[in-house]
Every structure is written in C-alpha cells, then in structure tokens.
Amino acid sequence: MSTSVVIQNAVADFEKALAHLSDEFSRLQVGFASPALVEHLLVEAYGSTQPLKNLANISAPEPRSLQIQPWDRTILGAIEKAIQKSDLSLSPFNNGLVLILNIPQLTEERRRDLVKVVHKLAEEARIAIRNSRQTAHSKFKELAQAKEISEDEAKGAEKRLQEKVDESNEKIGEMSKAKEQAVMKV
C-alpha cells in the first residue's frame, strides 16, 4: 500500500464527515420550514419502523409551515404520534387528509441554544477528521517499519495529509459560521 492510497482513503473519510455535518445542519430548525426537519423521523407503520420520507410527501407550502401528506391515510395517526414524540417541540394539526406543522418564530434563547448545537456538531466533525488522520498516521508508521517506504517518504506523506486536514477543518469552520449566521438571523 502506498502513501497516496492512504491519503486518498483519509480524504474520503474527511469528505464523509463533511457530508454528515452538512446533513445534520440541514436538519436544524432555523425558523423556516424545511422538509429535512422531519423526513428522518421514524414512524411505526405496517408492523415496522420507517423514516417519514418513505411514507409521505413532505412539502413547505409557506415559509413557516410544513405539510405532510401520507400516501396511505390510515397511517396519519402514526405520523402524528411520531412528530409529537420527537424532540422538535411541534404540534401537528390533523385535518384528516394531511398534517400541518407551523414552525414558530425562534426566540433569542432558542437561537443561542441552536448555536451551541452548531458548535457541537462542528466539533464532532473535527473529531472524526482527527480520528481519520490518526489512522493514516498509524498506517504510515506501519509502512515505514516494514521498510516499504523511507522515513522521508513518511514525513512527506504526513505533511501532505496535514494539508488535507487543514482544508477540511477550514471547510468545517466556513460551514459552521454560515449556519451560525443563519440561526442568528432574525
């Protein structure tokens, strides 16, 4: 195994961490309706637990409301129950055909709490990148000890890897700052 393969594997892990962070950020409620807010909720239907997006059409007809229209009206109650049990603190309105979720205006306190969540998610992504970097460093040491690469090659590979780590951390910082601004925007 060459150092470039190890670096490519690490960079693939970095990209996964960035994609996961982006996905988590899309689920954060920032005062406007987004189907991503509820599509991951697990609903007990048809004898199993399934994500809401597999059971219903989720749309945002207005900036502050979500409409959930199940493909089978018999599971409307199960969807309503899943939303009420979730940590979203939203009360669905059931008209017998669809569920309507009104997204309330965020308070200053809730905005500050969301900023803390943004920072926590960003730190989790940084930790994932550090863990991937540590795995790559271990592989470099193994290759050097097995005499498959020289010490200079190992040091050069570590330097190239660190450049990729720095790029990824910079992207996390940019994503975090953009999400923080979106959360704090009134």
Last residue of a domain, one of 74, 102, 130: 102
Q: What burial class does residue 63 get, using C-beta atoms within 10 Å of its C-beta: 0-12 exposed, 13-18 middle, 19+ buried?
A: exposed
Last residue of a domain, one of 102, 120, 139: 102
Do 114 and 145 lie in one domain? The reply is yes
Would the pTM count as exceeding 0.85?
no
Phi, psi of 96 (to 5 degrees): 95, -20
Do 52 and 67 lie in one domain? The reply is yes
The mean per-residue pLDDT over the stretch 134-145 comes to: 91
| Residue 165 pLDDT > 90 | yes
Q: What is the pLDDT of residue 174?
A: 95
Encoded tokens for 78: 């199960």
Q: Which of 122, 124, 129, 99 is nearest to 173 (CA)?
A: 122
Do 114 and 179 lie in one domain? The reply is yes
Distance between CA atoms of 115 and 131, rounded to whole angstroms?
A: 24
Q: What's the pLDDT tens digit per position in 6-26?
A: 999 999 999 999 999 998 888
Nearest 5 degrees, angle CA 119-CA 121-CA 123? 70
The mean per-residue pLDDT over the stretch 118-138 comes to: 94
Amino acid residing at 93? F
Do 80 and 45 lie in one domain? The reply is yes
Phi, psi of 89 (to 5 degrees): 60, 40
Do 153 and 175 lie in one domain? The reply is yes
Q: What is the CATH number of the domain that holds 135?
A: 1.10.132.20
User: Domain range spanning residue 50?
Assistant: 35-102
Distance between CA atoms of 74 and 53, rounded to whole angstroms?
A: 16
Look at the chain and report how many structural domains it folds into. 2
Last residue of a domain, one of 80, 102, 124: 102
The SS3 call for residue 41 is: coil
Report percent pLDDT > 90 for the chain. Answer: 46
Do 94 and 55 lie in one domain? The reply is yes
Q: What's the pLDDT tens digit per position in 18-77?
A: 999 998 888 776 667 788 888 888 999 888 999 999 999 999 888 888 899 999 889 999
Report percent pLDDT > 70 for the chain. Answer: 97
Do 122 and 174 lie in one domain? The reply is yes
The half-sphere exposure of 28 on its side-chain side, counting CA atoms within 13 A, is 29
Do 12 and 69 lie in one domain? The reply is no
Do 16 and 41 lie in one domain? The reply is no
Average pLDDT, the chain: 89
Do 44 and 96 lie in one domain? The reply is yes
